Amino acid sequence: MTSALVFLFYATLLSTKDMYSYVIGALTLFSLWKLPSLSGVSLDKQEKSIMMWMLLFAGISIGATFWHGAYGRSFEVPVKFGFGVLLALCLIKFPPKSAALWSGLMVGAASGLAVASWKMWQAGEFKAFGFTGAIQFGNLALSMAVLLMVALCWLMANQNAHRRLWFALLALGAVCGLLGSYYSGTRGGWVAIPLFVAFFLLAYVRRSNLLVCGIALALLVSVSGLLTYQSSLIQTRVQEVYTDLSEYQEHGSSSSSSLGARFAIWAATWEILKDQPVLGVGEVQFRQALKAKSQAGLIGAVPAGLANTHNTFLEVWVWYGGLALLSLLLAMLSAARYFLSFIRHSDSVLRSYALGGLCLIGGYVIYGQTQIMLIRNNTLLFFLLSLAVLVALVHQRRRVVLVAENV
């Protein structure tokens, strides 16, 4: 049951408008149905720490939302974090097959690119977005591509009768994910690529293969440099960074460029938070404060009119306060430490799951600097389910390894 639902979530994430939400709903109902049996789930100290901080974040955020009298939608994020813990417990008790995760990602990346290509053809421009915003689409596509590269490492450690077919399909999915990220033009996601490379090196570089890894890294850097030099899209997006910075230096808080407007709203947000750093100000009061600053000429119309702060951690701080932000950061740090503890493990399968978890956390930290990845529905659900699945797979594989060691 969990394998089928996990597959369906990833398979429909980028190619449908909201089917993935219904899949999460079904998985949540299944978890509630199995709730009596979840009380016996055995967790280690690190797993308990992750879930404790997630629940603490949910509790503080719900309390802050009541305190501020904010919109009903402000409850959605902490409630989903609470259900994220429930999903993690359910998947640890009833773990999905790893093949369901990898095949779902493969189908999702390929179908997402197909839908994006169709929409680009309709619009007559190369800007991939599918059924969501270009930034969310690009970041999700990149994360799916990276996890599929992790799957290729997992495949190397598995004696599979259909290894060649699996390799071809996983590689195809990874390429589709990378193309989805490329055509989205999402610069904020591309910044995470060096971090992903560092995690892969941390997981797999040994003295015995140092030369091979060095050659592979040199080839990767060379090919990336060549593609960057040859790609007009990448060159344009990079050049826009310098243009935006120059525009911000000239106009400051009235900047209207992509990066300039972000810098302006970040500065304004910081000024608003100075008075309420612990409890935040709430979604409604934040919009009112921005409007007042705009009317007073302290911030331009473009940054004041942005739908959000374009920063996950500032948005959480504004909506729910500093205590909630701290608990969120500690939850992510606990998860990162959990996966990091297995990144050099002798068991290759366990190591691949840990690598996937580290890439998930690291990617979201980078993405979150320019987009509210843990606020938007599709990106939040992807994070919570992926975290739950990878923790469950690590938990299950550890038990297998321990049994093998004690035989």
Residues 148 and 242 in one domain: no
Residue 234: the pLDDT is 73
Residue 229: the pLDDT is 58
Residue 230: the pLDDT is 60
Mean pLDDT for 131-146 is 91
Residues for the chain: how many in total? 407
Residue 312 lies in a domain: no
Residue 160: the pLDDT is 67
Residue 247: the pLDDT is 73
Residues 122 and 262 in one domain: no
Mean pLDDT for 63-82 is 88
Q: Give me the helix-helix angle, 322-340 and 348-367, nearest 10°.
A: 150
Domain encompassing residue 76: 2-35+67-211+322-406
Residue 307 pLDDT > 60, yes or no?
yes
Residue 301 — very low, low, confident or very high, per pLDDT cuts 50/70/90?
Answer: confident
> C-alpha distances in angstroms, 71 versus 62, 218, 309, 322, 324?
12, 51, 17, 19, 17
Mean pLDDT for 97-125 is 88
Residues 334 and 302 in one domain: no
Domain count, the chain: 2
Residue 365 lies in a domain: yes
Residue 122 pLDDT > 70, yes or no?
yes
Q: State percent of the chain over pLDDT 70.
A: 88
Mean pLDDT for 263-292 is 88
Among 275, 307, 339, the domain boundary falls at 307
Residues 144 and 265 in one domain: no
Average pLDDT in the chain: 87
Residue 222 pLDDT > 80, yes or no?
no
Residue 129: the pLDDT is 76
Residue 143 — very low, low, confident or very high, per pLDDT cuts 50/70/90?
Answer: very high
Residue 363: the pLDDT is 96
Residue 164: the pLDDT is 86
Q: What is the pLDDT of residues 162-207, one digit of tens each?
A: 788 888 999 999 999 988 988 887 888 888 999 999 999 898 887 7
Residue 62 lies in a domain: no
Q: Comparing 178 with 254, which gets the higher pLDDT? A: 178
Residues 207 and 249 in one domain: no
In a 13 Å sphere around the CA of 254, the CA atoms on its Cβ side amount to 6
Mean pLDDT for 137-149 is 93
Highest mean pLDDT among 24-38, 109-123, 235-249: 24-38
> What SS3 state is found at 371?
coil
- In this structure, what are the phi and psi dihedrals at residue 345, rounded to the nearest 5 degrees? -65, 150
Residue 304: the pLDDT is 74
pTM of the full structure: 0.94
Neighbours of 402 (CB within 10 A): 10
> What SS3 state is found at 79?
helix
Residues 301 and 172 in one domain: no
Residues 19 and 89 in one domain: yes
The secondary element (H helix, E strand) that includes residue 162 is none
